[in-house]
Amino acid sequence: MNTAVIDVSRLPPAVEDHTSPIWWGNLLLLFIETTMFALLVGSYFYLRMNFTNWPPVRSDVSLYQTDPDLGFATANLLVLIASCVPMFIVDRACLRLDLRSVRFGMAAMVLIGLVTIALRFFEFSGLKFRWDDNAYSAIVWTILGMHLLHLITGTAENLLMTLWVWFKGLDIRHARDVRVGAVYWYWIALVWIPLYALVYLGPRWL
């Protein structure tokens, strides 16, 4: 063969950073999910135009104060924001292929995920309406529920990676997977900040 060649055999066989296709794939999936939440937010404001009181008052049980409870919701928000710290520590440990830190850090992330899921169920009970009461409750339950789905999938993904690193160890490719999972978790936490503000502070402040 007399053609010039580009020999790629000395290029790294895997990378851990944003040049990896799976990092991009994850980002694109987050575009999809962010669009979904944006549409829910749009629907929230659209439905709000039909109400004079938002949330509506409940004359049936003389419940005039129907803003959703702040307690568990705020606790969950703080847990979610704080959870980015251990996730970030795991993220950095992956770069060093520090198996011990990744093992314990991921186990901690699973526990934190379970806590946020549990808190979310208490959040539902702090809403003053059932999902089938009116359009307000429909959209609020959906926003909380869709985010709950992400808490579950995010925690399930962290559990999977935890099992992997405990049973199989850590190599560059799986360290990359943990790091991509970390990006997902940061998104789960950060996207909740505006949604929390909308659902819990919106009725009080807007």
Binding site for other proteins (CB under 8 A): 1-15, 19-22, 24-25, 28-29, 31-33, 35-36, 39-40, 43, 46-47, 49-51, 56, 95-100, 131-139, 141-142, 149, 152-153, 156, 160, 164, 168-174
Q: Please report how close the Cβ of residue 15 comes to other proteins at its closest, in angstroms.
A: 5
- Which of 32, 61 has the CB closer to other proteins? 32
Please choose, from the candidates 65, 130, 79, 144, the residue with its C-alpha nearest in 3D space to the C-alpha of residue 109.
79
**CB neighbour burial string for 61-83, b if at least 16 within 10 angstroms, e if fewer:** eeeeebbbeeebbeebbeebeeb
Q: Please report how close the Cβ of residue 174 comes to other proteins at its closest, in angstroms.
A: 7
Q: Please report how close the Cβ of residue 143 comes to other proteins at its closest, in angstroms.
A: 11
Residues 6+ apart with CB under 8 A from 87: 105, 109, 182, 185, 186
Residue with tokens 């502070």: 201
Paired residues of 58 in beta bridges:
63
Q: Please report how close the Cβ of residue 140 comes to other proteins at its closest, in angstroms.
A: 11
What letter represents residue 192's amino acid? W
Taking the C-alpha atoms of residue 31 and residue 25, their distance in angstroms, rounded to an integer, is 10
- Which of 51, 71 has the CB closer to other proteins? 51
- Which of 77, 116 has the CB closer to other proteins? 116
- Which of 104, 131 has the CB closer to other proteins? 131
- Which of 77, 139 has the CB closer to other proteins? 139
Q: Please report how close the Cβ of residue 80 comes to other proteins at its closest, in angstroms.
A: 21
Taking the C-alpha atoms of residue 197 and residue 203, their distance in angstroms, rounded to an integer, is 9
**CB neighbour burial string for 20-48, b if at least 16 within 10 angstroms, e if fewer:** beebeebeeebeebeeebeebbeebeebb
